[in-house]
Structure 1
Amino acid sequence: MLFLWFQGWNMWESTRRSEEVAAAAALLLARYPPRKVSVILDGVLMLCGRKNAEAVVDLIYRKVGPVDTPWPLLRCPSAATQLTSTVPHYFIAFEYNRIGECYRCPLCNQYVSGDRFVNVPSGISGVLRQVESAANRVFAEYAELYYGKKCTVSAYTWECDPVHAESKMGLAVLIQHRAKALNAKCPGYSSLHGSHGVWQSAHVGVVDVTSGSYRFQSSFCMDAFVPLGALPNTPGATGRFNGSVASGLFGFERYAATASPEVGELLASIGEQVQSTENSYYGRVFEMYFRGAQFFAEGMRAAFPPGASSTPQSRGRQQPAASVGAGESSRPADADTGTPPGGRAP
């Protein structure tokens, strides 16, 4: 009886340790740069040898949480903020427009909680409000032309230098684009049909409206959902691949204008820089996360084909996954390569 108990305890302890090791390996997926995660994925598949495909996927889902989550959108209760159509205005809730649990709408300049206005101190005024209002008009037009109607943009200003409060201010331009790939194909890639995701970019800096100088820092986030294909007993499995990049290289500046600029000219100059930065890094982050996720989906289908053995250990060595686009990368080298994880160029 003691022998049976001891044998059972050993089996339980072995299973527990195996699960702990597998969980730790899966957790690494959220820490490694996208171009190196394929090695960790192969390790997860091998360490989870006693689990089936669904258990491996579930383990990854439970242990790999998103690096960043999409910014929440709030609806302005005022009909006056419906600028060009009858569609209600939505704005991005962020720290730059927050007081407690309330957020200031950049169009009506009032604070909102839930779906109604709240009685808190009034919003900004003077030159801060003038620049903020103009920035929201300019970047709303830019975002619709560049990304289409599935885009929300909010611009916020705040006082950052009490001595020069009438000329120097902080300015944040936040862009959120929700995209869905209906039938997108690229050379060397399978169809991205059914994939969807959120692209976010934040351009935050200091602006001097008197001299026309500015300095901005940019950061980007991609949150992609990609179908994993017909896994055994899970035909509708979808993988979430999330990551953000930020670096001192992602920025732009202007020292001074030749003459005292108008607000419109100043914002137009900033807008050109924002567009150039978006053009440069949207594709690179897309390569890192969206297409990297497609590699992972292909690897999962290769590791667990329908009707075959679902033992990850037996198939992990034969057809390892190509790559995975999960995890966080804050290193410029990852963003500047322009090459998808796994080293394949489109």
Structure 2
Amino acid sequence: MFNPSPRGSRDDPSAFASYVSTQRGAAELLAARAEGPSLPPPSAENACTREETTEMKGSASSGELRPFQQETLFEVADVWHDASSPMNIPQHLHSSPPFAMYAWQTEILQREESLVRREVEAFAQGERLAQREEQLRHLQEHLATKVAADAKRRQLHEAKCALERREHEVAQKLAVAREEKDNLDARAAELDIRERRLEEEQECLLNDAQRQVDLIHSSARVLQEKEATVAQREESCSRHEAELMLQRECLIGWEVSLSRQQRQLDAQLASVVDKLAAAEKIVLRENNVQELELRLCEREALLWETAAKKLPGSREDLKGLIASLRRLQDKLFSCEFKRHTSSEVL
């Protein structure tokens, strides 16, 4: 058990009584800020009862109390002692034996220790509130990830629109290609008709030639003219045949190009399907995030209700209490730092 000695000697009763009363007043003030409504000062009749009760309350957290926090509490009491006016020992103790004076001092110290334990509980509650603030900060970071997911979803939607426009353009190009193919087919049909006509004409010419052979002896001049005409027509037929072969090669090239474009469109369609599946997964994750957010809101409301039940007052009062506990903790830390600095200098 940590029992700091007061400033001055214990042999000086007035100084010792002033120190004890100052520490008791500071500890009761801090405990009242942590527990709620102020309690009346302890009396001599219930001193033992209060000591046993505070020892039972402080036994759970005494193991968690760090030594520098105990020293800081007593330094605050010392500062309060410097600012307060000294109190005198009760008149009936001046004429009492030394044993009664020692018993009275012991009782005062025990009350002081119980008040210090209550202050330790208030510090523990402040640490729990700090942990709650850290959880709220993590929740804000989680919401930031949700905003990033929304931006990613908008980008995917824009990419989908661009792919749809690209598909529309490709469909238009395919329609133009089909129209050109139909025109080529029509021209090929016309060429086939012309070829059949030429064949019919060739047959007629052959028949005429056969008749002219029969009449060759009668008209050589007419035969020569007919042979020249037949030669010209044969050359024309060969030219038409070459043109038809060239057109056939062009049609084969068009067919290969169309098949290549079809494969590209199939690959683009597969990519669009994959991106749509990824977008569905993102939407599912967003729904899960919304459910988690609702659960966190419900948990926060439950924590506020629990805090309201344990600590009476409105939410603004609780926030003010948290702020006062933080200021008190900062002051205690600054006192601890000053104490370490002074000890190093000494």
Higher relative contact order (CA 8 A, sep 6+): 2
**TM-score surpassing 0.5?**
no
Q: TM-score range by the shorter chain?
A: under 0.3
Q: With structure 2 as the length reference, what TM-score do the two structures score?
A: 0.21
Higher Rg = 2
Which has more strand, going by share of residues? Answer: 1
